[in-house]
Structure 1
Amino acid sequence: MPTIELTKDNFEETVTGSEIVLIDFWAAWCGPCRTFSPVYEKAAERHPDIVFGKVDTEAQPELAAAFRISSIPTLMAVRDRTILYARPGALPPQALEELIGKVREADMDDLRREAAAQSTEAG
Protein backbone atom coordinates (compact mmCIF):
# COMPACT_ATOMS: atom_id res chain seq x y z
CA MET A 1 0.00 0.00 0.00
CA PRO A 2 1.45 3.39 -0.88
CA THR A 3 1.93 6.04 1.76
CA ILE A 4 -0.86 8.54 2.24
CA GLU A 5 -0.64 12.25 2.92
CA LEU A 6 -2.15 13.07 6.29
CA THR A 7 -3.75 16.45 6.83
CA LYS A 8 -5.77 18.00 9.61
CA ASP A 9 -8.85 16.99 7.58
CA ASN A 10 -8.12 13.23 7.35
CA PHE A 11 -5.79 12.61 10.31
CA GLU A 12 -8.37 11.69 12.96
CA GLU A 13 -10.36 9.47 10.60
CA THR A 14 -7.20 7.66 9.47
CA VAL A 15 -5.87 7.03 12.97
CA THR A 16 -9.19 5.95 14.47
CA GLY A 17 -10.15 3.85 11.45
CA SER A 18 -6.97 1.76 11.28
CA GLU A 19 -5.46 -0.73 13.71
CA ILE A 20 -1.83 0.28 13.07
CA VAL A 21 -0.70 3.61 11.64
CA LEU A 22 2.89 4.77 11.19
CA ILE A 23 3.30 8.50 10.74
CA ASP A 24 6.36 10.20 9.29
CA PHE A 25 6.55 13.90 10.17
CA TRP A 26 8.80 15.46 7.52
CA ALA A 27 9.54 18.53 5.38
CA ALA A 28 10.89 18.91 1.85
CA TRP A 29 13.90 20.97 2.98
CA CYS A 30 15.00 18.28 5.50
CA GLY A 31 17.94 16.17 4.25
CA PRO A 32 17.46 13.29 6.72
CA CYS A 33 13.75 13.26 5.82
CA ARG A 34 14.61 12.79 2.14
CA THR A 35 17.03 9.99 3.08
CA PHE A 36 14.42 8.22 5.22
CA SER A 37 11.62 8.53 2.66
CA PRO A 38 12.64 5.58 0.41
CA VAL A 39 13.11 3.35 3.49
CA TYR A 40 9.61 4.29 4.66
CA GLU A 41 8.11 3.78 1.18
CA LYS A 42 9.65 0.28 0.87
CA ALA A 43 8.33 -0.68 4.32
CA ALA A 44 4.87 0.48 3.23
CA GLU A 45 5.08 -1.89 0.25
CA ARG A 46 6.10 -4.80 2.52
CA HIS A 47 3.31 -4.19 5.06
CA PRO A 48 0.07 -3.54 3.14
CA ASP A 49 -2.03 -4.11 6.29
CA ILE A 50 -0.47 -1.08 8.00
CA VAL A 51 -1.32 2.52 7.12
CA PHE A 52 1.84 4.52 6.40
CA GLY A 53 1.03 8.21 6.61
CA LYS A 54 3.17 11.26 6.01
CA VAL A 55 2.65 14.68 7.57
CA ASP A 56 4.39 17.56 5.81
CA THR A 57 5.14 19.78 8.80
CA GLU A 58 5.35 22.86 6.56
CA ALA A 59 1.89 22.29 5.06
CA GLN A 60 0.33 20.98 8.31
CA PRO A 61 1.76 23.12 11.12
CA GLU A 62 -1.32 22.48 13.29
CA LEU A 63 -0.64 18.73 13.32
CA ALA A 64 3.05 19.25 14.00
CA ALA A 65 2.17 21.57 16.90
CA ALA A 66 -0.50 19.21 18.27
CA PHE A 67 2.12 16.46 18.63
CA ARG A 68 4.88 18.87 19.72
CA ILE A 69 7.10 17.92 16.81
CA SER A 70 10.30 19.91 17.30
CA SER A 71 12.71 17.80 15.25
CA ILE A 72 12.22 16.03 11.93
CA PRO A 73 12.01 13.43 10.73
CA THR A 74 9.92 12.15 13.63
CA LEU A 75 8.34 8.74 13.36
CA MET A 76 5.22 7.91 15.33
CA ALA A 77 3.60 4.48 15.67
CA VAL A 78 -0.05 4.31 16.68
CA ARG A 79 -1.96 1.11 17.43
CA ASP A 80 -5.59 1.07 18.48
CA ARG A 81 -5.47 4.89 18.85
CA THR A 82 -2.56 4.59 21.32
CA ILE A 83 0.85 6.11 20.59
CA LEU A 84 3.40 3.35 21.15
CA TYR A 85 6.42 5.13 19.69
CA ALA A 86 7.26 8.74 18.89
CA ARG A 87 10.89 9.70 18.37
CA PRO A 88 12.86 11.94 16.06
CA GLY A 89 15.48 10.49 13.77
CA ALA A 90 15.61 8.52 10.55
CA LEU A 91 15.61 4.78 11.14
CA PRO A 92 17.64 2.38 8.99
CA PRO A 93 15.59 -0.35 7.28
CA GLN A 94 16.31 -3.06 9.87
CA ALA A 95 15.40 -0.81 12.80
CA LEU A 96 12.14 0.17 11.10
CA GLU A 97 11.29 -3.51 10.58
CA GLU A 98 12.06 -4.23 14.25
CA LEU A 99 9.81 -1.35 15.33
CA ILE A 100 6.98 -2.67 13.14
CA GLY A 101 7.41 -6.11 14.71
CA LYS A 102 7.24 -4.65 18.22
CA VAL A 103 4.12 -2.65 17.39
CA ARG A 104 2.46 -5.78 15.98
CA GLU A 105 3.41 -7.84 19.06
CA ALA A 106 2.43 -5.25 21.67
CA ASP A 107 -0.12 -6.54 24.18
CA MET A 108 -2.60 -3.69 24.03
CA ASP A 109 -4.63 -4.99 26.98
CA ASP A 110 -1.51 -4.88 29.17
CA LEU A 111 -0.65 -1.39 27.95
CA ARG A 112 -4.16 -0.12 28.69
CA ARG A 113 -4.04 -1.62 32.21
CA GLU A 114 -0.66 0.03 32.85
CA ALA A 115 -1.93 3.38 31.58
CA ALA A 116 -5.04 3.12 33.76
CA ALA A 117 -2.92 2.27 36.80
CA GLN A 118 -0.60 5.21 36.16
CA SER A 119 -3.48 7.65 35.73
CA THR A 120 -5.02 6.37 38.99
CA GLU A 121 -1.71 6.87 40.82
CA ALA A 122 -1.26 10.35 39.34
CA GLY A 123 -4.83 11.41 40.09
Structure 2
Amino acid sequence: MTDEAIPALTFGEEVKARRTALTPTVGQAQLADMADISRNTVSNLERGTHEISNRVKRRIHDALTRLESGDPMESESELIERVIRQRVARDIEVLTEAYPESLFPEDADTPEGRAVAAMRHAYRTAARIARGEDQ
Protein backbone atom coordinates (compact mmCIF):
# COMPACT_ATOMS: atom_id res chain seq x y z
CA MET A 1 0.00 0.00 0.00
CA THR A 2 1.38 3.37 -0.95
CA ASP A 3 0.89 6.75 0.64
CA GLU A 4 -0.16 8.35 -2.63
CA ALA A 5 -2.88 10.91 -2.21
CA ILE A 6 -6.21 10.17 -3.83
CA PRO A 7 -7.05 13.10 -6.07
CA ALA A 8 -9.96 15.16 -4.89
CA LEU A 9 -13.03 15.30 -7.05
CA THR A 10 -13.68 18.49 -8.91
CA PHE A 11 -16.93 20.20 -8.05
CA GLY A 12 -18.41 18.98 -11.34
CA GLU A 13 -17.39 15.37 -10.63
CA GLU A 14 -18.85 15.65 -7.13
CA VAL A 15 -22.14 16.99 -8.51
CA LYS A 16 -22.40 14.12 -11.01
CA ALA A 17 -21.53 11.53 -8.36
CA ARG A 18 -24.09 12.91 -5.88
CA ARG A 19 -26.76 13.31 -8.58
CA THR A 20 -26.40 9.79 -9.99
CA ALA A 21 -26.17 8.22 -6.52
CA LEU A 22 -29.72 9.34 -5.75
CA THR A 23 -32.47 6.75 -6.02
CA PRO A 24 -34.19 7.17 -8.32
CA THR A 25 -31.44 8.84 -10.29
CA VAL A 26 -32.01 12.54 -10.77
CA GLY A 27 -31.46 13.88 -14.28
CA GLN A 28 -29.52 16.99 -15.13
CA ALA A 29 -32.74 18.77 -16.10
CA GLN A 30 -34.38 18.08 -12.73
CA LEU A 31 -31.30 19.25 -10.82
CA ALA A 32 -31.09 22.35 -13.01
CA ASP A 33 -34.75 23.13 -12.36
CA MET A 34 -34.33 22.78 -8.60
CA ALA A 35 -31.21 24.95 -8.65
CA ASP A 36 -32.89 27.44 -10.99
CA ILE A 37 -30.14 27.19 -13.62
CA SER A 38 -30.01 25.78 -17.16
CA ARG A 39 -29.49 22.10 -17.92
CA ASN A 40 -26.54 23.13 -20.10
CA THR A 41 -24.86 24.67 -17.05
CA VAL A 42 -25.13 21.34 -15.18
CA SER A 43 -23.90 19.40 -18.22
CA ASN A 44 -20.94 21.71 -18.81
CA LEU A 45 -20.06 21.68 -15.10
CA GLU A 46 -20.11 17.87 -14.92
CA ARG A 47 -17.93 17.61 -18.03
CA GLY A 48 -15.49 20.14 -16.60
CA THR A 49 -15.88 22.56 -19.50
CA HIS A 50 -17.48 25.38 -17.57
CA GLU A 51 -16.55 27.42 -14.53
CA ILE A 52 -19.40 28.70 -12.40
CA SER A 53 -19.79 31.31 -9.72
CA ASN A 54 -19.90 30.49 -6.04
CA ARG A 55 -23.54 31.60 -6.02
CA VAL A 56 -24.46 28.95 -8.61
CA LYS A 57 -22.35 26.36 -6.77
CA ARG A 58 -24.35 27.13 -3.60
CA ARG A 59 -27.65 26.68 -5.50
CA ILE A 60 -26.52 23.31 -6.88
CA HIS A 61 -25.25 22.19 -3.49
CA ASP A 62 -28.50 23.23 -1.78
CA ALA A 63 -30.62 21.45 -4.42
CA LEU A 64 -28.59 18.24 -4.06
CA THR A 65 -28.80 18.43 -0.27
CA ARG A 66 -32.60 18.80 -0.45
CA LEU A 67 -32.84 15.86 -2.83
CA GLU A 68 -30.59 13.72 -0.63
CA SER A 69 -32.67 14.52 2.43
CA GLY A 70 -35.86 13.55 0.62
CA ASP A 71 -37.23 17.08 1.01
CA PRO A 72 -37.25 18.56 -2.50
CA MET A 73 -38.47 22.09 -1.81
CA GLU A 74 -39.75 24.24 -4.65
CA SER A 75 -37.28 25.96 -6.91
CA GLU A 76 -36.93 29.73 -6.96
CA SER A 77 -38.98 29.94 -10.18
CA GLU A 78 -41.75 27.80 -8.63
CA LEU A 79 -41.77 30.04 -5.55
CA ILE A 80 -42.02 33.17 -7.72
CA GLU A 81 -44.88 31.64 -9.72
CA ARG A 82 -46.76 30.69 -6.53
CA VAL A 83 -46.36 34.20 -5.06
CA ILE A 84 -47.53 35.83 -8.30
CA ARG A 85 -50.55 33.52 -8.45
CA GLN A 86 -51.47 34.44 -4.87
CA ARG A 87 -51.18 38.17 -5.60
CA VAL A 88 -53.27 37.92 -8.76
CA ALA A 89 -55.92 35.90 -6.90
CA ARG A 90 -56.03 38.51 -4.14
CA ASP A 91 -56.36 41.34 -6.68
CA ILE A 92 -59.19 39.54 -8.45
CA GLU A 93 -60.98 38.91 -5.15
CA VAL A 94 -60.84 42.65 -4.46
CA LEU A 95 -62.69 43.20 -7.74
CA THR A 96 -65.50 40.98 -6.45
CA GLU A 97 -65.99 43.46 -3.62
CA ALA A 98 -66.78 46.15 -6.20
CA TYR A 99 -70.13 44.40 -6.62
CA PRO A 100 -71.36 44.03 -3.02
CA GLU A 101 -74.37 41.81 -2.61
CA SER A 102 -76.02 44.42 -0.39
CA LEU A 103 -76.17 46.85 -3.32
CA PHE A 104 -76.65 44.30 -6.09
CA PRO A 105 -78.44 41.22 -4.75
CA GLU A 106 -77.76 38.17 -6.89
CA ASP A 107 -81.30 36.91 -6.52
CA ALA A 108 -82.75 40.01 -8.13
CA ASP A 109 -84.74 38.93 -11.13
CA THR A 110 -83.50 41.81 -13.20
CA PRO A 111 -80.92 42.10 -15.94
CA GLU A 112 -78.68 44.07 -13.53
CA GLY A 113 -79.00 41.40 -10.82
CA ARG A 114 -78.13 38.63 -13.25
CA ALA A 115 -75.19 40.66 -14.62
CA VAL A 116 -73.82 41.27 -11.13
CA ALA A 117 -74.19 37.59 -10.27
CA ALA A 118 -72.30 36.71 -13.45
CA MET A 119 -69.52 39.21 -12.62
CA ARG A 120 -69.10 37.85 -9.08
CA HIS A 121 -69.02 34.30 -10.42
CA ALA A 122 -66.45 35.27 -13.08
CA TYR A 123 -64.19 37.00 -10.54
CA ARG A 124 -64.41 34.09 -8.08
CA THR A 125 -63.62 31.61 -10.85
CA ALA A 126 -60.69 33.73 -12.06
CA ALA A 127 -59.33 33.88 -8.50
CA ARG A 128 -59.52 30.07 -8.18
CA ILE A 129 -57.72 29.68 -11.50
CA ALA A 130 -55.04 32.17 -10.44
CA ARG A 131 -54.45 30.14 -7.26
CA GLY A 132 -54.15 26.99 -9.38
CA GLU A 133 -57.28 25.38 -7.92
CA ASP A 134 -59.09 24.86 -11.24
CA GLN A 135 -56.40 23.30 -13.40
Greater per-residue helix proportion: 2
Using CA pairs under 8 Å that are at least 6 residues apart, name the structure with larger relative contact order, 1 or 2: 1
Query: Would the TM-score normalized by the shorter structure come out above 0.5?
Result: no
- Which structure's CA Rg is the greater one? 2
**More strand per residue:** 1
TM-score (norm 1): 0.29
Name the TM-score, length of structure 2 as normaliser.
Answer: 0.27
